[in-house]
Structure 1
Amino acid sequence: MQHHKEKDTTRVNILNALAFSHFSRDMPKTLEYLDEAYTIADIIQFEKGKARNIYIKGITEAIQSNYDQALGYYNEALKLYENIDFKKGIANCYNAMGITYKNIGKPRKSVDYIKKAIKIEEEIGSNNLSASLINLGNSYTDLGEFAEAIPYLNKALSIAKADKNKQRVAYSLNNLGTIYLDQGNYPLALEYFKESLYINEKIGDSLGIANHLNNIGWMYKTRKQYDKAMKHYEKALEIDKRIDNKRGVSSTLNDIGIIYEENGDYERALNYYIKALDINKQIGSKKGIPNILHNIGEVYLALNEFNTANQYFSEAKKISTEIGDKVTLCDTYIGLAKTYANQKLYDSALNNVLKAKKISKVSGFLDCQKEATEILFNIYKATGNYRDALENHQQFKTLNDSLFNKENIKKIAQIEYEYKYKQALDSANIRELQLTKTVRAKSEDLEKTQRNYLWAIIGVLMISMLLGSVIFYQKLKNAKTKTQNAVIEQKLLRSQMTPHFIFNSLSVLQGMILNKEDKKSVSYLSKFSKLLRITLENSRDKTVLLSQELKAVQNYLTLQNLENDAYQSTLLVEETIDIPMFEVPPMLIQPFVENAIEHAFIDTNDDKKIDIRLKYIDKKLICTIADNGIGYMPQKKTNNGYKKSLSTAITSERLKILSKDFKMDGSVTIEDREKYNAQGTIVTLVIPHKFVA
């Protein structure tokens, strides 16, 4: 844009494109670009540019939950596109209108508009097809029709991956995760949420990040890890407020209210629920209202104010039925059943809980099924119907086990892991002993060689002292190099993937298989085998492609973090680095990442972060590994000493040799981030490299 100052169609298109790329992270800048673009388009009568501009204005209003204004802009843009018969623009407007109707609680109308968009996009071969499929899947999700939603979302994911559209890949994963969350498949849901969040953080999509933080917060809340859940909600709330996403703010306030409710702080819970309800009413969105009303009803039920609870549940049921929200409708029937049961109105309680059970079975809501069977057990027991009470109690136990049997599997896997790890440790000790013997033998050979050469020098000194000195020096240098290489090779083998990590990974995999998580276990095994293969291949080569080295590091991070969400990690490569053009020595980065994981967070459990960054400055390839752990200085006082013998010393030795081979500087430094007014440790590697021929 700086090089194109002329006020023509090209500048309008550039400004519109900039506005569209900024709307999810910088609203003021977006509006600035839109104003300039519309002024130029209006002057030069560029109808297509005006239509695009108005369409993007609709998106900015929708993000701020100004749905009436958004629909007004979309209809205005649609008329302009229809006048010039621009089908791609027409499809975009239908799609946007479908999203808006979904957000205001009209999912059936949303489905109709999005299907119109998809029909046009399939005719013209639009690259926006994956986005429309995501939106259609979301509308079916709101209707609780998961069997319809999942195929559309999987198709969208496949297209987005083929198109290398990271944003749409992230949204597809997130929405699939939401479905698995509603179905009670928490591990699979968390896996999708984490992968999606990582992508959105990498591309800087604020709206996507806020949504994912909310989802992950919900996962922690479900597991009753309230502190972690609250941290994610607070981060999401901060982002939603910054980008003025009122619907997101309302949703997060509602989720925070649930945490206070589950902890018995009903007054504070009601305060958050009422704030969330007021925002939904202000923006005219019915979508979030039934869930908030249901939650308020739950608070009054806990306070034994049954009539008030009944009023809120009844209102939630009415709106849920209107907008087709089956998830909340099912929860509301459960709430009404509990209220009537507490009042000993068992016929009314039975009528409502049977409706909930029917919906939950059809839609696959395991949590709702579990609650329904528990309530039925109590009702039948109270009314003397012991046969049906027993049957529902057995169903409750089965459903509860299907949702919460992972702890037992984890314990079994841990016992087996400890046994296998001891075996692996014994094997590793034997291997290390053999390597030590080899080094010792080489050292003894060296000493013997030195003595022989000494006698040889004395013998030939009379013939030619100079010649003998040269021969001795060369031979001694070669022998020392061989010994040095053997020592470094031994240390390098020890600094690679530890038996602890390998067998822990196998135990995690076994737990997934026992839990019948077929897709997840296949994915995990694939990543694990790829990492092993890459490690073995890289160990044989003097240099590897930078992309291969980064892939190994990323796979290692993914596996270490896959099962229990131990930490957050980022791997950023500056745009100045053309990754395919670089070759580097293998296994320089991974040992320091491993040190951070194993030693940086000894005295802390929350908010663990590891950031890996690569930059290219003054012809130097620089990698930093930073964590927010206990810092380097405290670790030097421990017995582990930040594994200095395995990382700092080994890498320093390697870099001395590599620097000579590559004819460029290589170094490693470890610093406490306290000197930079931050928490943790930072490792800085200057990596010798060469460019691909």
Structure 2
Amino acid sequence: MKKNILLILVLFFFGEIIAQTQLVDSLKIKLRTHKKDTTRVNLLFDLAFETFQKDTKLANSYIVEAEQLSESLNFTKGKARINYLKGILENIKGDYVTSLKYFNLSLKHYKKINDKKGIASNYTAFGITHYDQAEYEKAIQSYLNALEIYENIGNKREVITCLINIGNVYSEIGDFDKAISNYNKALNKCKLINDENGISFIHSNLGILYKKQGNYYLAIENSNESLYYRKKTADTLEIAVTLNNLGEIYNSMKDVTKALLYHQKSLELALKQNNKKIIVANEINIGNIYKEQKEYKKALVNYNKSLETSSQINDLKSVAICFANIATIYLALENSTLARTNFIKANEISEDINNLPILTQSELGISETFLFEKNYQKALFYALKGRENAIKLDLLLEQRKAAELLSQIYYNIGNYKKALESHEQFKKLSDSLLNEENIKKIASIEYEFKYKKELNDAAERETKLTETVETTSKDLEKSQRNLLLGIITFLAVAMVLGSIIFYLKLRNSKAKTQNIITEQKLLRTQMTPHFIFNSLSVLQGMILNNEENKSVSYLSKFSKLLRITLENSRDKTVLLSHELEAVENYLSLQNIENEKITFQLYVDDAIEANAIKVPPMLIQPFVENAIEHAFKNQKENCIIEIKLTLVDSKLICVILDNGMGIDSSERNSNQNKKSLATKITKERLDYLSKDFKMDASITIEDRSKFDAQGTQVTIQMPYSKTEL
């Protein structure tokens, strides 16, 4: 179940209002000099706006006086502004009908005096109010009306606001292409006028959007960009929002520790601000973490508290999400009836508010309850509906869930072909959601963000130090100033040196991370899910055919290969004899599956396999490549040879096959895995050659160069000797 998303809605109600930084006291002083004129109306309006969040009663008294004075003076613009502010106050209270009534009155007055900016500000207010009521088509049309006016009068900041708000609506209804288009337009305009606040908003919203799509790399990249700008401006509320978004992303990636840390920081800031929407979002997300840790009672408490608060503030989207989350708890507790009841409630609300992502999740949830009850026809109906919406919205998480459900449903109704197709689709979607490249990029982004933060903190410390020194130096004698200048120079040098040391450490840390990623990739290329799946399928076939002796032997070899692979992957080097044992076990399994292939392993007599240590996992990926690709059009006399020799103190491993050859193989379209194994091994050998302080390399050649058929892989392996 997808976690709650807190979408940032840019509430720029106040395009025409004076800067909020004006002090209330200065406004009161000015008010004394104006008795019954239009300036007094404007001052009363400003005072009302400055005080309504802290003292509603006092603000209302300013509004009443401003309204009466505007009527007596027949001051149309004053009437327009007062009705506009009254509309804002009603919107905050959640009385949207009354809010729209005041905005319409304000619009009428602004049109009377042809105040373009005022007219546009009311259209923006309409859009926000319609959005709050889930009236998305009306919201978009209102924003477009405002956008047209702002473009005509050349108000760049409000144009940006409209584009962001339009993007928010499209993101909410699942039209991500249009949302991204509007966000990017706004981002380009923000950069032109150096609007850091707008840039932060847009990156935050893009982070939410990409998280919905399951693109975690781009979600983290944009959220960290937003957080970077928010910390520069010390915007506590938006920092809380962004921290919550990062928590959701990491929870989707199953990094519970980071997720919980971000949500706790966000909740702490939200409680200080008493922002119920952000509090609700974090309570839901913390409930999600408890659910994943199978602490269902704690999760249910959080979800019910969130549901109660969401209902109080009439946040229908959060209400729907709460019902869906409660349903997943009951499903985990195997209470399918209560689970379906809550999924149906979520489904009905999401239909009413036209929220397709939540609708998709609830449809898949209903399917899962029917699957649990073995009502396969109804389960199939809802799974297909959910998959259709997931594909339409490009929601990878929901597509994966639908594929998993359909695989089980088709299997149980005896449609094994579709069951297998769905299972294969499930595997592909799982791989694409969190692959090695994403992990590498995420690590790089985190290092870059930390580096930016350190540089920014260092710059702030330097600025404060300089300011302190300048203030103190005014009261010092010339000799003392010279001393201070010497200290400043020393500190500046120290800071430069510190920055250099930090950069070197960061570069070293990145190199270590890259090495670890390379090792992990190579382990995955050696023992691929495809190979494991095929091996288990072969074993299943033997069991079904009552080949007891053969299946026991196969299982023994398979388990031994898994054990050796896992043991070898933990160590930087292993005995050559152990590495060869792993290769021999792999070849034994392949002999059972591919009887047409003959395997030959030669080890030079000069090599003492128990006295030489080599890096693990270098040979097997290329043997597997030969098995999978070399003999596609060859049905007999298929031979793979592995030769290890020691020449001039160089350990050489040659892998030969008599298949189609690399030149012919490269003309085929599906060579991703082959290229990946070669690339990873080359990267790893670069690191290993430095560690072992000896040459290490790999070459792949077509044997046609040597008047033979097939492919030749030559690996110069780094090694070390050990005492027998």
Question: Aligned-pair distance for 1:331?
Answer: 0.7
TM-score by length of 1: 0.58
Question: Aligned-pair distance for 1:92?
Answer: 1.5
2:447 maps to 560
1:224-239 alignment, distance < 5 Å: 224-239=254-269
- For the 8 Å contact 2:45–2:62, the answer to whether it is kept is no
Cα deviations across residues 589-618 of structure 1 (Å, max 9, x unaligned)?
Answer: 59xxxxxxxxxxxxxxxxxxx977635535
- For the 8 Å contact 1:74–1:96, the answer to whether it is kept is yes
1:148-297 alignment, distance < 5 Å: 148-297=178-327
Question: Aligned-pair distance for 1:231?
Answer: 3.3
1:614 maps to 464
1:138 maps to 168
Question: Aligned-pair distance for 1:15?
Answer: 7.8
1:535-554 alignment, distance < 5 Å: none
- For the 8 Å contact 2:48–2:62, the answer to whether it is kept is no
Return closer, same or farther for 1:220/1:310 CA change in 2, 3 Å cut-off. Answer: same
C-alpha separation in 1, matches of 2:228 and 2:84: 29
C-alpha separation in 2, matches of 1:616 and 1:14: 41
Q: State the number of aligned residues.
A: 456
C-alpha separation in 1, matches of 2:190 and 2:407: 47
- For the 8 Å contact 1:214–1:233, the answer to whether it is kept is yes
1:484 maps to none
Return closer, same or farther for 1:91/1:180 CA change in 2, 3 Å cut-off. Answer: same
Question: Aligned-pair distance for 1:68?
Answer: 5.0
1:413 maps to none
1:105 aligns with 2:122: no
Cα deviations across residues 387-415 of structure 1 (Å, max 9, x unaligned)?
Answer: 11111111111111111113x775xxxxx
Return closer, same or farther for 1:611/1:147 CA change in 2, 3 Å cut-off. Answer: farther
C-alpha separation in 2, matches of 1:205 and 1:50: 33
1:82 aligns with 2:111: yes
After TM superposition, the structure 1 stretch with the greater mean CA deviation from structure 2, 201-210 or 10-19, is 10-19
What letter corresponds to residue 100 of structure 1 in structure 2?
Answer: T
SS at match of 1:217: helix
C-alpha separation in 2, matches of 1:116 and 1:292: 34
Return closer, same or farther for 1:611/1:303 CA change in 2, 3 Å cut-off. Answer: farther
C-alpha separation in 2, matches of 1:34 and 1:242: 26
Instruction: Give the one of 55, 60, 69 matched to 1:43.
Output: 69
2:418 maps to 388
1:480 maps to none
1:336 maps to 366
1:55-74 alignment, distance < 5 Å: 55-56=84-85, 58-59=87-88, 62=91, 67-68=96-97, 70-74=99-103
- For the 8 Å contact 2:263–2:286, the answer to whether it is kept is yes
Return closer, same or farther for 1:200/1:357 CA change in 2, 3 Å cut-off. Answer: same
- For the 8 Å contact 1:570–1:612, the answer to whether it is kept is no
C-alpha separation in 1, matches of 2:446 and 2:226: 16
Return closer, same or farther for 1:664/1:253 CA change in 2, 3 Å cut-off. Answer: closer
Return closer, same or farther for 1:41/1:559 CA change in 2, 3 Å cut-off. Answer: same
Question: Aligned-pair distance for 1:370?
Answer: 0.8
Question: Aligned-pair distance for 1:619?
Answer: 5.3
1:307 maps to 337
C-alpha separation in 2, matches of 1:30 and 1:570: 43
What letter corresponds to residue 153 of structure 1 in structure 2?
Answer: Y
Instruction: Indicate the RMSD between aligned Cα atoms, in angstroms.
Output: 3.9
C-alpha separation in 1, matches of 2:56 and 2:471: 35
- For the 8 Å contact 1:226–1:259, the answer to whether it is kept is yes
- For the 8 Å contact 1:236–1:252, the answer to whether it is kept is yes
1:398-437 alignment, distance < 5 Å: 398-406=428-436
What letter corresponds to residue 82 of structure 1 in structure 2?
Answer: K
2:54 maps to 28
Return closer, same or farther for 1:162/1:226 CA change in 2, 3 Å cut-off. Answer: same
C-alpha separation in 1, matches of 2:469 and 2:48: 35
C-alpha separation in 2, matches of 1:201 and 1:83: 44
C-alpha separation in 1, matches of 2:428 and 2:159: 41
C-alpha separation in 1, matches of 2:95 and 2:279: 14
Q: Percent of counterpart pairs with the same letter?
A: 33
Return closer, same or farther for 1:315/1:567 CA change in 2, 3 Å cut-off. Answer: farther
Instruction: Give the one of 91, 114, 125 matched to 2:154.
Output: 125
Structure with the greater alpha carbon radius of gyration? 2
- For the 8 Å contact 2:47–2:62, the answer to whether it is kept is no
Return closer, same or farther for 1:276/1:568 CA change in 2, 3 Å cut-off. Answer: farther
Question: Aligned-pair distance for 1:56?
Answer: 4.6
1:6 aligns with 2:36: no
Return closer, same or farther for 1:156/1:334 CA change in 2, 3 Å cut-off. Answer: same
C-alpha separation in 2, matches of 1:559 and 1:333: 36
What letter corresponds to residue 28 of structure 1 in structure 2?
Answer: K
SS at match of 1:620: helix
C-alpha separation in 2, matches of 1:324 and 1:190: 27
C-alpha separation in 1, matches of 2:218 and 2:148: 32
Cα deviations across residues 489-540 of structure 1 (Å, max 9, x unaligned)?
Answer: xxxxxxxxxxxxxxxxxxxxxx44xxxxxxx99xx8xxxxxxxxxxxxxxxx
SS at match of 1:337: helix
C-alpha separation in 1, matches of 2:335 and 2:451: 42
Return closer, same or farther for 1:17/1:161 CA change in 2, 3 Å cut-off. Answer: farther
C-alpha separation in 1, matches of 2:438 and 2:136: 40
C-alpha separation in 1, matches of 2:487 and 2:39: 46
Return closer, same or farther for 1:612/1:317 CA change in 2, 3 Å cut-off. Answer: farther
Unmatched tracts of structure 1, length 5 or more: 411-510, 513-519, 525-557, 573-588, 591-609, 623-655, 672-680, 682-693
After TM superposition, the structure 1 stretch with the greater mean CA deviation from structure 2, 376-385 or 32-41, is 32-41
What letter corresponds to residue 130 of structure 1 in structure 2?
Answer: I
- For the 8 Å contact 2:327–2:343, the answer to whether it is kept is yes
What letter corresponds to residue 614 of structure 1 in structure 2?
Answer: K
1:364-513 alignment, distance < 5 Å: 364-406=394-436, 511-512=440-441
Question: Aligned-pair distance for 1:19?
Answer: 7.9
What letter corresponds to residue 386 of structure 1 in structure 2?
Answer: Y
After TM superposition, the structure 1 stretch with the greater mean CA deviation from structure 2, 65-74 or 295-304, is 65-74
Question: Aligned-pair distance for 1:294?
Answer: 0.9
TM-score by length of 2: 0.56
SS at match of 1:324: coil
Unmatched tracts of structure 2, length 5 or more: 1-21, 473-478, 499-724
C-alpha separation in 2, matches of 1:51 and 1:616: 49
C-alpha separation in 1, matches of 2:39 and 2:486: 48
Question: Aligned-pair distance for 1:37?
Answer: 7.3
2:589 maps to none
Cα deviations across residues 663-692 of structure 1 (Å, max 9, x unaligned)?
Answer: 885454999xxxxxxxxx9xxxxxxxxxxx
1:583-598 alignment, distance < 5 Å: none
What letter corresponds to residue 347 of structure 1 in structure 2?
Answer: Q
Return closer, same or farther for 1:320/1:392 CA change in 2, 3 Å cut-off. Answer: same
C-alpha separation in 2, matches of 1:663 and 1:568: 28
SS at match of 2:254: coil
2:613 maps to none
What letter corresponds to residue 620 of structure 1 in structure 2?
Answer: E
After TM superposition, the structure 1 stretch with the greater mean CA deviation from structure 2, 146-155 or 53-62, is 53-62
C-alpha separation in 2, matches of 1:162 and 1:15: 36
What letter corresponds to residue 266 of structure 2 in structure 1?
Answer: A
What letter corresponds to residue 77 of structure 2 in structure 1?
Answer: K
Question: Aligned-pair distance for 1:202?
Answer: 2.5
Return closer, same or farther for 1:569/1:328 CA change in 2, 3 Å cut-off. Answer: farther
What letter corresponds to residue 223 of structure 2 in structure 1?
Answer: F
SS at match of 1:85: coil
1:571 aligns with 2:456: yes
- For the 8 Å contact 1:16–1:34, the answer to whether it is kept is no
- For the 8 Å contact 2:217–2:438, the answer to whether it is kept is no
